[in-house]
Structure 1
Amino acid sequence: MRTLVLLRGCPGVGKSTWIKENGLEQYTLSADNIRLLFQSPVLNKSGKYEISPKHDNKVWDLLLKLLEDRMDRGEFTIIDATHSKQSMISRYKPLAQKYRYRVYVVDFSDVDVRRILKRNKMRAEHKHVPESSILNIYERMTTEKVPSWVTVLKPDEFENTMTYKPRCFDDYKKIHIFGDVHGCNTVLQEYLN
């Protein structure tokens, strides 16, 4: 299933929790998890541990390389990141076109900011994000829309959209199936006439 799903929402909105609750971890590439592969949490100026953004260029290079490897095999993949800017989402377009992927955004941007700030405080210390950063991301998501070439879903629409629904042909009296035509257009035109 050539499908790429991008999660969109502030840190602390519940994207990673949603992934776990839906049993989707094995399909997910997470920017934060890759950051932790490059460097363990570091002490900040306040004496608290945080995930370092120091290696973000390497993180995104690796994430995109891993994604392209998965897309080359046609694998269903979810990207867990904020995707708050159009440019963040647009970086996937060349890969989607190259590998003929459908792209969906599961949008968590309508969650109330007070709820997000409260959830952020309940996260593990190294996953806390400064309140000012969350407010900036939240504000950006209210002004920057998702590019029109992707399909936007709400979290509760995901399962129904991703579930395969076979077509029923029981009401047809006759069904004609054509394989690859290749060099036999003349025969096909005769049949259609």
Structure 2
Amino acid sequence: MKKIPLILMLGPQASGKSSFIKMNNLQNYTISGDEIRIRLNGINSNNGHPQINFVPQTESIVWHIFYEELDTRLQNKLPTVVDNTNLAAHGFNPINDILKRVPIDYQVYVIDCFKPLLNSKDPFSEKSLNHALKILAQRNHDREYSVNMDIIKRFVDYHKDFKIPDKVKVISSADLQQAQDIIDMVLNYR
């Protein structure tokens, strides 16, 4: 039986997750915590640049809506892309939280958008991380909605120690053939 694809994007803010989704016409398959935040909290301005308005008091509502959308798509057996960082620290792993909800007829993939920004020989060296942070800072400045750089730095730190569960298939966004194969599975499912 053909498995239904569930793609979890991975990487700090400005690592290219949403751009990857847009470039590959996956928007209609995508759910995103940031999109829910925008609908609930709106946009504010940081030095004249639009920024997603993060309101701690509404985070539980954001995640309730997100998981309702995810659960509904999974129940309806729809290919789905999750456009979140999917990173965390302090023992919490959002990927594990999602995996608990996934029916057996799905195959879960992680597309890592941060890995291509790192030095392949020594990815978590100070030099590699500083280079990646410069790229993220520029992308953050150029994107539609920016994020506070302190938050991006925190999520880069999360990536260093983050463990991806064994039962998911991990693909780098730079691996064009493998990424295209998964995109085709989503776009041509049924």
Task: Indicate the TM-score class for this superposition, using the shorter chain for normalisation.
Answer: 0.7 to 0.9
- 8 Å CA contact 1:71–1:99 kept in 2: the answer is no
Q: Deviations over 1:112-142 (max 9, x none)?
A: 2221111101123xx2111121111112101
Of 86, 97, 118, 2:138 maps to 118
Give me the whole-angstrom Cα distance separating, in 1, the residues matched to 2:35 and 2:94: 18
Aligned counterparts, 1:1-193, within 5 A: 1-42=3-44, 49-54=50-55, 55-85=58-88, 87-96=93-102, 98=103, 100-110=105-115, 111=117, 112-124=132-144, 127-155=145-173, 156=176, 157-161=178-182, 163=184
Query: What SS does structure 1 have at the residue aligned with 2:110?
Result: strand
Give me the whole-angstrom Cα distance separating, in 2, the residues matched to 1:57 and 1:146: 24
| Alignment partner, residue 171 of structure 1 | none
- 8 Å CA contact 1:72–1:99 kept in 2: the answer is no
Q: What's the CA shift for 1:48?
A: 6.1
Give me the whole-angstrom Cα distance separating, in 2, the residues matched to 1:27 and 1:47: 32
Structure 2 counterpart of 1:153, one-letter code: I
Give me the whole-angstrom Cα distance separating, in 2, the residues matched to 1:128 and 1:163: 30
Query: What SS does structure 1 have at the residue aligned with 2:111?
Result: strand
- 8 Å CA contact 2:30–2:81 kept in 1: the answer is yes
Number of aligned residue pairs: 160
Q: What's the CA shift for 1:160?
A: 2.2
Q: 1:99 to 1:67 in 2, by over 3 A?
A: farther
With structure 2 as the length reference, what TM-score do the two structures score?
0.76
Structure 1 counterpart of 2:70, one-letter code: L
Give me the whole-angstrom Cα distance separating, in 1, the residues matched to 2:110 and 2:146: 24
| Alignment partner, residue 168 of structure 1 | none
Give structure 2 stretches of 5+ with no counterpart.
118-131, 186-190
Structure 1 counterpart of 2:23, one-letter code: E
Give me the whole-angstrom Cα distance separating, in 1, the residues matched to 2:106 and 2:53: 32
Sequence identity percentage:
26
With structure 1 as the length reference, what TM-score do the two structures score?
0.75
Query: What SS does structure 2 have at the residue aligned with 1:116?
Result: helix
Q: What's the CA shift for 1:49?
A: 4.6
Q: 1:23 to 1:39 in 2, by over 3 A?
A: same
Give me the whole-angstrom Cα distance separating, in 1, the residues matched to 2:30 and 2:183: 15
- 8 Å CA contact 1:2–1:71 kept in 2: the answer is no
Q: What's the CA shift for 1:24?
A: 0.6
